[in-house]
Structure 1
Amino acid sequence: MSFATKNKDELRIFTPIGQLGQGFNEDIFWETVESGVDAIIADGGSTDSGPGRLGLGLPNVPWSRLGRDLETFAKAAHLYRIPSLIGSIGGDGENAHVDKAAEIISEAVQKNGYRPLKVIKIYAEISKDLVRQKLADGLISPCGGGVPDLTEDEIATSTRIVAQMGLEPYLKAMRENPDFDIIIGGRAYDPAPYAAFCLFHGFEDLGNNYAMGKIMECGAQCSIPKSKEGLAIARRDSFDIIPLDPKSKCTTVSVASHFLYEKTRPDILHGPGGALHLAQTTYEQLDDRSVRVRDAKFVPEAEGAYTVKLEGARVNGYHTIFLGALRDPILLQQLEPWIEKIRAYVDERLDGLGFKYDLKINKYGVNGVMGPLEPDHSIGKEVFIAGQARGETQDQADQVAGIAKFAFTHAPYAGQLATAGNFAWPFSPCEIPMGPLPEFCIYHIMHNVDPIVLFPIAVVDAPGDNSYVHQARVPKLATVKSASDTKVKKLESSKKYCLTPEPAAGTCYLADVASVLRSKNSGPYELTFDVMFPNMKVYNKVKETGLLTRDTICKLYSVSDEKVIASLFFDQAMAYKATIARPAVSGGFGETDTHGSQQHIPLMYLTLPFGRK
């Protein structure tokens, strides 16, 4: 049997969390399930945390936490016959993670005495031989402006390669197994399970389906304040977004602005088999908490030209880190030449040992967060040092880090008064072996593929004796807060923090008038910036200055014009968007900001030719 009839006028789709394994409110979960939903859908993966998951085969959260969420989904399937669809399980969506999740569900069924559940596994790893053949045929291209061409060495050295599946494997699995309980997908395009479930039930507008999925895959992050649990009501020509945390609400701007989040550009979003076009999309405020979205368009690729994204990572040596801080003002006045002397000292000590190494010193407090993008190199009263050594073996990395840390502690400098030591470190031992060093090596588009054959499907019948005795849930009582508590929170939320130094008279900073100003990775090779405004008056006033341009981004971040991948205004969200090529691949050796979320500061201080008021 299917769980929702194909002649339904609407589907209620529940996402309890934007990333599976991070936990959600159990009361909201069960209240929502008990009220009636057609599916629970959750995304489990991302490249945000860097290459470690894919390169080393690790889940993005401990299996104990993933298991807790999976067991909750299994219980919902047992009690209410609500199906669950999961994408990119374990973070990277590799085959081993798909199998592990299926095992957890099977064990939960047996342990708790649930009814037998039908679990479907969809695998996303692909063979290196296929990638090699596609490369030889000229059918692989970089995914984004900052990605280099793929090489044979990168294919050979990758630990595994996953392809990002679209909706087709999910749709096939449901059509062949309409009585399924849980689908566990490997690496998947984030909105693919949502679009597939809608299409399975006769909702054929892929623009509508994909747009709903693009918002819902983050749960209720599009709400104000952002929250976890979200509900979508999908219809044939529109969908509604509703946050389930009573403290949160959605607005037309908060929903529209979510299409900017971690994307190269907000108006055209590329994915497997086509692109989602949002330039004509409309947003309607239904009440004080929910928004209706219409007119998103999906433009498919030409027949036979289907594309998928490939992701791969490899191990490039071993690394050891050391952490500490420098506070002596005499030393900080000569910091750069002193560090160069330490590098020379390390070279001298290792000369003749016959191995290659790398040593990276990140100086947080100078240019540690932004690295080469940092426009301000002034030094504060203390500097945090994050040293990273790389060698072909762990022992080699340990040697390099140990020598460097010793030098940081005892290397002399002109005018030195503090002869006992220079370096304050918080942990012992200070040198911390980190093991294999992963790095992204594949982030490419593979052309002319079969969207179904590439992703094998396996069915697991999880046996259960159906002996579970359900006990009615007792909801937790909401905490009653006094009026004084509410007043304090209101005052805190309305407090305006002033930037220093203050802008010149008759001017203001961009941060003074923006409602949101953020940076974020858009995949491992791009860095994207979003600037949003509280109303059309402010938005148009800033827009009319002509200061938010490609040229401004080049100057603020010291990048050339060809490194600016996107620069545009997005009227629906009252926002400006810019995207640049990352100076280094996310999470690689010498990384300063893997998430890319602290690169927005130069934009904050962009001076506008009018006062804040």
Structure 2
Amino acid sequence: MSSPKPTLREIKIFTPVGQMGQGFDEAIFWDTLGAGVDAIILDGGSTDSGPARLALGKTNVPKEGLVRDLELLTKGCHLYNVPVLVGSAGGDGENAFVDACAKIVAECIQKNGYRPMQVIKIYSEIPKEHILQKMRDGLVIPCGGAVPELLESDIESATRVVAQMGLEPFAKAMHENPRFDIIIGGRAYDPSPYAAFCLHKGFEDMGLNYAMGKLMECGAQCSIPKSRESLAVMRHDSFDFIPLDPRSRCTVTSVASHFLYEKTRPDILAGPGGKLYLDDTQFEQLDDRVVRVRGAKFVQEAEGQYTVKLEGARVIGYQSIFLGAIRDPILISQIDNWVEWIHAQVKERAPGFDYEVKIHKYGIDGVMGPLEPDNTVGKEVFIVGQVKAATQAQADQIASLTKFGFTHAPYTGQLATAGNFAWPISPCEISIGPLSEFCVYHIMQKADPIGLFPIIVEHVAGSNTFIQDGPLTAKTKPTLVFTPPRNTKKYPLEPEPAEGSCYLGDVASVLRSKNSGPYELTFDVMFNNKDIYERVKESGVLSQQTVAKMYNINDKDVLACLFWDPAMAFKATIKRPQVSGGFGETDTHGSQQHIPLLYAKLPWGRT
């Protein structure tokens, strides 16, 4: 009778960078592989950069970046026999990008004389006919309260639709091909390849597996200062998170806070096949750089109720832009009425076709748009004119007319009659090309977690003649660290101490905004000190009503608003006034929307 297969006590998972193609430190890469790891796992992208790449079939990084990273990953796989798993290849994870990345790997093997390798491709594009049938069966719902109901025209007009695969396709690929070398996955829920590899190695606590993957997929972004390379030491009851750049460290707060990052809620993270519950998660500072995590719980969806998120985008026309600035205070004092007059003039002169023009006034309301609570006018205003039309020629024509208006339109009290508009680029009007928007961001219910995602196994021939010439080291390039000037304030305005108050930004350790998918904006406020956290919590200043008031929105558009004790954090999520990356966008990433919270006034007398 054979003895049972021994259970590993721990495994080490290495992530060299949070987004494949952005590069990583080669010295850290080779040193880490030399010390021994069980897998290299990394993410390839997301929808953070808007809909254009998904709609137009463009990778999120130049091909040269993908080649550079994949060549190093393949070399590491060859020399150390360490498996590599990649999710969301090329950015949006479409089938063509999976094929392109697998081709780069194959060419690298053959060009360099590496050993033969087993390369697995997992596709994630979903046939439109399948989605249409699911929708007709009532099994497609919006992903969150800010997303509209799906229409058949949305599906049909999408260039392509991908689904975020869960761990199941990765697990199936590894189970059926235990001697695999590299897996190139299409669009994936970011933690999926991490959770799948842990399960494959006998680590069955899915709460820990997914929690570890949630941290690792961004590299060492939760380190201080933010860095790229990270290592997770996975055990059956906990895992350790380690930033590998020696200049970075992790704290309990920095690690706990990452569970809030770009998510609607901090306590419940929904993904394919279930939800990750984090209320009982515990964080332990092991030393000045390493944090141990335990206690996360994963609850699977009921049998037959598996869900996946669909993502699709389409082209809705063409766009042109023009850029410049206005410095004249006489004009700036009447700029809103003046811009409206230019719109009227362009409409009168334009040929008879449909178009739209958006004028972004950076310096007044450009970054935050309708969410902006402070329309104070500065000494100069940067203008971005954006034009949308059915063809590029039409967009160019309207951009030219509008820019001419900005240059020569008169205004009350005008002294500077030579021109109104300073532009840095010539020609000022710039043809941008196709304009895209998200049209599918929905949950498909009763989905097949494996059948939707075809798995292709390729046996790549290699001569195995490669000889390493010299040690596997690379000179570490010095990283520039920003050193602020002395005697500077955290931000320009501070309250008078006599007022017995302070700004939220004075006491927070992290205060940020970010997209939570294309339809939501989420805000995170964190504190390093429990007493400060409790004082802010008890003040009542942060609530659904105050968030709504700060951002000029209705209470119902505040989709989540809560304090989360494990990270000593406050979280609020609101409906996005403009779907990420669509026409009229002012902040695609959503990372500059936090300023009203920065200036939230707290009662802060002596205690």
Could you say which TM-score interval applies, normalised by the shorter chain? over 0.9
The CA distance in 2 between the partners of 1:208 and 1:275, in whole Å, is 12
Residue pair 2:26, 2:473 contacting (<8 A) in 1 also? no
Q: For residues 203 and 579 of structure 2, what CA distance do their matches in structure 1 show? A: 39
**Structure 2 matches for 1:316-465, cutoff 5 A?**
316-350=316-350, 353-465=351-463
Amino acid of the structure 1 residue aligned with 2:564: F
Compute the displacement of 1:475 (Å): 3.8
Query: 1:285, CA displacement in angstroms?
Result: 1.2
Cα distance in structure 1, aligned partners of 2:476 and 2:164: 41
The residue that corresponds to 2:587 in the other structure is: 593
Which of the residues 524, 530, 538 maps onto 1:536?
A: 530
Cα gap change, 1:155/1:233 in structure 2, threshold over 3 Å: closer, same or farther? Answer: same
Report if aligned partners of 1:6, 1:201 keep a CA contact under 8 Å in 2: no
Which one-letter code corresponds to 1:296 in the other structure?
A: A
How far is 1:599 from its partner? 0.3
User: Once the two structures are superposed, what CA deviation does each residue of 1:1-43 show, in whole Å capped at 9, x if it has no partner?
Assistant: xxxx862111100000011111110000000011100000000
Give CA-to-partner distance per residue, 1:534-593, whole Å, 9 cap, x none: 200111111110111001101000111111111011111111000001001000000000
The answer (yes or no) to whether the contact 2:320–2:396 under 8 Å persists in 1 is yes
Q: 2-side partners of 1:612 and 1:342: how far apart? A: 54
Contact residue 30 and residue 473 of structure 2 kept, 8 A = no
Q: Across the two proteins, how many residue pairs are aligned to each other? A: 602
Whether 1:238 aligns to 2:231 is no
Q: 2:492 aligns with which of 496, 499, 505?
A: 499
Instruction: Name the residue aligned to 1:514.
Output: 508
What amino acid is the match of 2:492?
L
Distance 1:467 1:280, change over 3 A: same
Structure 2 Cα separation of the partners of residues 24 and 493 of structure 1: 31
SS of 2:159's equivalent in the other structure is: strand
1:354, CA displacement in angstroms? 2.8
Residues 27 and 475 of structure 2 are in contact (CA less than 8 Å); yes or no, is this contact kept in structure 1?
A: no
Using a 3 Å threshold, how does the CA distance of structure 1 residues 143 and 479 change in structure 2: closer, same or farther? Answer: closer
Q: Report if aligned partners of 2:313, 2:439 keep a CA contact under 8 Å in 1.
A: yes
SS at 2:242 equivalent: strand
Structure 1 residue identity aligned to 2:490: Y
Query: C-alpha distance in 2, partners of 1:498/1:171?
Result: 49
2:571 corresponds to which of 558, 577, 591: 577
Question: Which structure 1 segments of 5+ residues have no match?
Answer: none
C-alpha spacing 1:364/1:158, structure 2 compared with 1 (3 Å): same
Q: Distance in 2 between matches of 1:182 and 1:426?
A: 47
Contact 1:512-1:612 at 8 Å conserved across structures: no
Determine the C-alpha separation between the residues in 2 that align with 1:495 and 1:203. 49
Counterpart in the other structure of 1:26: 26
SS of equivalent residue, structure 1 residue 531: strand
Cα shift at 1:224: 1.2
Question: How far does residue 110 in structure 1 lie from its aligned partner after superposition?
Answer: 1.1
Please show how residues 67-466 of structure 1 align to structure 2 within 5 Å.
67-350=67-350, 353-466=351-464
Partner of 2:11: 11
Residues 231 and 242, structure 1, Cα contact 8 Å, conserved in 2: yes
Q: Give the deviation of 1:493 after TM superposition.
A: 9.2
How many Å apart are 1:472 and its aligned residue? 3.0
- Give me the whole-angstrom Cα distance separating, in 1, the residues matched to 2:411 and 2:268: 55
Query: Could you tell me how far apart the structure 2 residues matched to 1:575 and 1:125 are?
Result: 37
- Which amino acid in the other structure matches residue 177 of structure 2? N
CA deviation vs aligned residue, 1:258-291 (integer Å, no higher than 9, x gap): 1011110110000000000000010111111111
Checking the alignment, whether the CA contact within 8 Å between 2:26 and 2:474 is kept in structure 1 is no
After superposition, the C-alpha distances for 1:499-529 in whole angstroms (9 at most, x for unaligned) are: 3263572111111111111000000000000
Contact 2:26 2:476 in 1 (8 A): no
Q: Which moved more, 1:500-509 or 1:266-275?
A: 500-509
- Counterparts of 2:65 and 2:201, CA distance in 1: 31
Cα RMSD (Å):
1.8
Shift of residue 478, structure 1, vs aligned partner: 6.6
Q: State the shift of 1:496 in Å.
A: 4.5
Deviations along 1:403-452, one digit per CA (max 9) or x if unpaired, are 00011001011111111110001101111101000111110000001100
Cα deviation, residue 117, structure 1: 1.3
* Cα distance, 1:333–1:494 mapped onto 2, change above 3 Å: closer
CA distance change for structure 1 residues 460 and 518 in 2, over 3 Å: closer, same or farther?
same
> Structure 1 residues 476, 41: CA separation in 2 closer, same or farther (over 3 Å shift)?
closer
Q: Deviations over 1:114-137 (max 9, x none)?
A: 111111000000011111001100
Question: Is 1:6–1:202's contact at 8 Å kept on the other side of the alignment?
Answer: no
Structure 1 residues 132 and 228: CA distance shift in structure 2, 3 A: same
AA aligned to 2:249 is K
> Using the alignment, how far apart are the partners of 1:474 and 1:445 within structure 2?
46
| Whole-angstrom CA distance in 2 between matches of 1:501 and 1:251 | 28
Q: Please report the TM-score for the alignment, with normalisation by the length of structure 1.
A: 0.96
Work out whether 1:556 is the aligned partner of 2:550: yes
Shift of residue 476, structure 1, vs aligned partner: 5.1
More deviation, 576-585/220-229: 220-229
Determine the C-alpha separation between the residues in 2 that align with 1:469 and 1:295.
Answer: 46
1:480 deviates by 10
* TM-score, normalised relative to structure 2: 0.97
Give the distance between the partners of 1:550 and 1:14, measured in 2 at CA.
Answer: 40
| Cα distance change, pair 57–478 in 1 and its aligned pair in 2 (3 A) | closer
Q: Percent identity?
A: 65
Q: Deviations over 1:202-252 (max 9, x none)?
A: 111100100000000011111111111000001111111001011111111
Aligned mates of 2:379, 2:606 — CA distance in 1: 31
**How do residues 458-477 of structure 1 correspond to structure 2 at under 5 angstroms?**
458-473=456-471, 475=473
Aligned to 1:546, which of 520, 540, 543? Answer: 540
Q: 1:293 to 1:184 in 2, by over 3 A?
A: same
